């Protein structure tokens, strides 16, 4: 088997879209690590649907509109952003590049993009904050050790993170068949360093005939009660990531949550759930502007960003696109992906007659006929 190629020292002019980074990343990763990054859950129907679902929508461009003074600026939770594209939380960046999240932070900072740092980052959250000049949010997996969870929140606050993003759709990992077939194992030296020192969950008596349900692994899984507890710990905005139904969006608002991220975990947890763009409109309608709604899943073009904004999102998150770019070219690749998507968004806005984000409404898109 051929060894992975060295990372790009210069981005070739043939990289015209974010999709062009995927084959470049494949050539520079082991098959096992690439399976970890690229794969989804089970038969990967949701993974494929996330991107394919955008093709069901069309743009409705308006012409001869005044575009003077146009921009892509927005404010979320009192924080200014230049454009509505953020880096989603992705675990173990050291699998993709030796610099790990520090390299990602450099790329995000170069384009002044918001970055959400994973609990399972391969670098300490304090080091990542010290390396970044763009806004950082901290993604939190609530741990069975609630005292340790509270300590993580305090560390994030002390390091200057400006929001907490609580992932709620993964109390256990999904069925990752692609990883299994590739023989993926966490490499020596790559670990979730921010979880060092956490106490193991207490043993729970369970039926020896059960595999998962009724066992100790799920006994410490968070519930709505724990969300209320977490909300009481911090003054930071708290968003829930992994909301896929209007019912859960309503429950989140009732718990005092500050924002919602419509997400199916990039198709990595439960297979055969809808694409996020398909459920975004009904969730946005249920929320009715009470809190910001963000969205991830399948974003590969600036026109995808535009469609998500038209259907109710205030901003979007990208995951695999910048992961591929990080693996292929490090920080310059991450910055390049952000630049491509922002440029494509601005072109789409201009050609659709929308000079700012407020002008992008549901009348800017339509379901494809037939």
Active site residues: 265
d(CA 285, CA 282): 5
β partners of residue 165 = 139, 239
Evaluate whether 355 touches 69 at the Cβ level (below 8 Å): yes
Rg of the chain on CA atoms, in Å: 20
Residue 64 neighbours by CB distance under 10 Å: 6
Instruction: Give the separation between CA 142 and CA 201, rounded to whole angstroms.
Output: 12
Name the residue with tokens 């918001």.
Answer: 114
Signed CA dihedral, 333, 316, 298, 323: sign only:
positive
Q: Tell me the CA end-to-end span of the chain in Å, nearest whole number.
A: 46
CA distance 366 to 144: 44
The SS3 assignment for 88 reads coil
- Are the beta carbons of 41 and 175 closer than 8 angstroms? yes
Look up tokens 């098959």; give the residue. Answer: 31
Q: Where are the alpha helices (DSSP H) in 28-76?
A: 31-38, 45-52
């Amino acid at each position: 088997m051929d060894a992975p190629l060295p990372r790009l020292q210069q981005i070739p002019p043939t990289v015209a879209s974010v999709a062009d980074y995927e084959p470049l990343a494949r050539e520079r990763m082991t098959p096992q690590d690439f399976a970890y990054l690229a794969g989804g859950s089970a038969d990967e129907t949701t993974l494929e649907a996330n991107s394919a679902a955008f093709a069901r929508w069309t743009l409705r461009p308006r012409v001869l509109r005044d575009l003077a003074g146009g921009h892509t600026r927005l404010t979320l939770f009192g924080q200014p952003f230049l454009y509505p594209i953020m880096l989603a939380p992705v675990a173990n960046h050291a699998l993709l590049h030796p610099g790990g999240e520090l390299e990602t932070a450099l790329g995000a900072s170069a384009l002044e993009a918001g970055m959400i740092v994973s609990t399972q980052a391969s670098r300490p959250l304090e080091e990542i904050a010290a390396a970044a000049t763009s806004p950082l949010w901290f993604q939190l997996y609530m741990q069975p050790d609630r005292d340790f969870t509270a300590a993580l929140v305090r560390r994030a606050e002390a390091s200057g993170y400006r929001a907490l993003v609580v992932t709620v759709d993964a109390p256990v990992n999904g069925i990752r068949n692609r990883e299994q077939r590739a023989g993926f194992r966490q490499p020596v030296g790559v670990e979730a360093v921010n979880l060092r020192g956490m106490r193991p969950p207490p043993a729970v008596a369970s039926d020896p005939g059960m595999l998962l349900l009724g066992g100790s692994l799920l006994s410490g899984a968070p519930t709505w009660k724990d969300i209320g507890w977490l909300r009481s710990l911090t003054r930071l905005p708290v968003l829930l990531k992994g909301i896929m139904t209007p019912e859960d969006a309503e429950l989140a608002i009732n718990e005092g949550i500050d924002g919602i991220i419509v997400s199916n975990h990039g198709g990595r947890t439960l297979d055969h759930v809808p694409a996020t763009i398909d459920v975004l409109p009904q969730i946005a309608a249920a929320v009715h502007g009470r809190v910001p709604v963000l969205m991830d899943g399948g974003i590969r073009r600036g026109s995808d960003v535009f469609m998500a904004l038209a259907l109710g999102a205030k901003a979007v998150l990208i995951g695999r696109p910048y992961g591929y770019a990080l693996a292929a070219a490090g920080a310059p690749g991450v910055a390049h992906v952000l630049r491509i998507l922002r440029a494509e968004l601005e072109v789409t806005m201009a050609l659709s007659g929308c000079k700012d984000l407020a002008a992008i409404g549901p009348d800017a898109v339509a379901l494809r006929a037939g």
